[in-house]
A and B are shown apart, each in its own frame.
Chain A
Amino acid sequence: MSQYHVAPEDLHDWVRGGSGSIASMSVEQHVARCQDCRSDVAALVASAPTHAVPDLADVWSRVRDEIELPPASGFERLLARLGLPSSDATLVAAASSWRGPWLTALCAALVFVAAAAAASASDSSAGTSLFLLVAPLVPVFAVALAYGPEASGALEQESTVPYPLARLVFLRTAAVLIGSVPVVVLVGLFLPGRLSWLWLLPAIGFTSTVLGLSVWVSPMRAAEGITLGWVAAVACAVRFSTVMAVLDGRYLALYCVLLIAGPITLIVGSRRFGTIGRIT
């Protein structure tokens, strides 16, 4: 046994992590060999305030997390870097809208819209009709696919949590629109005149309507209903006037009303009923 011991103040610094690297190694070597100093260390650790000594269980838990847990997805990390709280980033990243099948479906729809836009740009009325028929429905289905029971599969469990369901839906809707609308807008820029931006009003109005109707029916069912109505409206416009009639002033006002009414209905309805979509 060594006849020399570490000075009490040095031992004190070492226990609290205040020693320099060389002093720390020296103390460590001595303590490993000296029973008396180990006893002093034990006494110092026991008497130290809890915040002064690292919580070993916590340290071990962190080490396990580093080794065992899969890292957050790149998209989740990006959202967190953009300032979204990490819990919200987890919820948004969980939406199926960032998975392969969903993105493939969106790309297929956009190729279709781009073809229609190209045809429309060459002054073809059929191309314009096709574009107006399809383009406003792309965000509608993108949103419906992103959070309905068909998409997450966990709606029943999600309906029993304290987290506000309307907020969950808005978060996912925002994620979907951020992903899909810019691309569709770029495609729309190839269109002539007012059409290049006016079609966005029915698109966003219908998307809002899906949100509102999802209080009572599944988002996909709501999207299907809207599609039927929109196809009928476009067909009537082509039959009795021109397709541009669906972008007439009074209809644009209607789309604006839908845009406002949808989220309000979702907030009020989900709070009142406590669920979204129909569970039977």
Chain B
Amino acid sequence: MSTPTVHLSGVGKRFRGAVALEDLDLSLRPGITGLLGPNGAGKTTLLRILATVLKADNGTVSLLGRDPNAPDERTDIRRRLGYQPQELGFPRGFSSFAFVNYMAVLKEWSETRTRQAEVRRVLAAVGLADIATKRISRLSGGQRRRVGLAQALLGAPDLLVLDEPTTGLDPEQRASLRQVLAEIATASTLVISTHQTEDVAALCERVIVLDEGRVHFDGPVKDLVARAAGRVWLADDAEPSAQTSWRTASGGYRNVGASAPAGAELVEPTLEDAYLLLRGTRSSESEAVTA
């Protein structure tokens, strides 16, 4: 097995006393890892630590075999890092090309012709080549996210950290993005935070579920899905004992976490079912502790 490109041990982070991450242990290797969790679970804080934007309050962090707390090693990490933050900001008046070109200068692509060729490459990779000179302020939300992704792809980074890359993308754009990321993941370590379980199911070999700053599941996607096997039923009515149920397009009710309702049909669970079950178990445990 290859050596981990990312290794975190006992990592903690607090903001004004509130726990964002607590005693987190994590090792990542090349491939795609999906981060799932509710809002406030600590996903963005974890990604910012991986992107060297934030320092952990305690614990040890090693990225690409280097220590991000040591200035020179941090610069080495940044040379091999791509990062797309959750909230994208762009200087006013910039086109996609101008912004990615600007970021390429900051990423030490100093030779103009090589830099412009690289900017063209990444804009083409995210499907923005034809509107590269259009002002970002005139682009749709999905197109802006792709500009953010394009700058993260500069230089084919060894560690790519993406915070909600598929938000605002239409199905076709998401499929195209998955293709791009799957290609990169053959040689690089990708960490993706998302609320879209179908993206994780489609892309990631491994999934980590965070809640309240702690890891609640870490393993292959199929293992998480397997936890829901035998617990998802399609029935004519909503089952009161179900953890969650909703009316499907076929008119039946999908009951997740239920004991078998009368006349119900057992169905294959999805990653979303398994995630909801895991979250539900967490909520029940919290309620029990509170009681």
Contacts and interface: CB of A to CB of B under 8 A. Distances in A.
B90 A279 contact: no
Interface string A81-103: 00001110011001010010100
B89 A168 contact: no
A157 B91 contact: no
Interface in A140-157: 149, 151-157
A95 to B, nearest CB: 8
Nearest to B68: A274
Contacts of A24: none
Interface residues on A, range: 35 or more
B106 A161 contact: yes
B76 to A, nearest CB: 8
B102 A94 contact: yes
Residue picked from B85, B88, B132, most chain A C-beta under 10 Å? B85
Contact of A275 (B53, B88, B91, B151): B53
A65 interface: yes
A279 B68 CA distance: 17
A91 B71 CA distance: 22
Contacts of B97: 69-70
Given A87-B110, A91-B102, A163-B106, A157 B133 contact: no
Given A69-B133, A87-B110, A271-B71, A153 B52 contact: no
A160 B107 CA distance: 9
A279 B15 CA distance: 11
Nearest to B86: A156
B61 to A, nearest CB: 12
Contacts of A153: 89-92
Given A99-B92, A162-B79, A274-B74, 16 more contacts: A61-B113, A61-B117, A70-B98, A87-B105, A94-B98, A96-B92, A101-B92, A153-B90, A154-B99, A160-B52, A163-B107, A168-B106, A274-B55, A274-B68, A274-B71, A275-B53
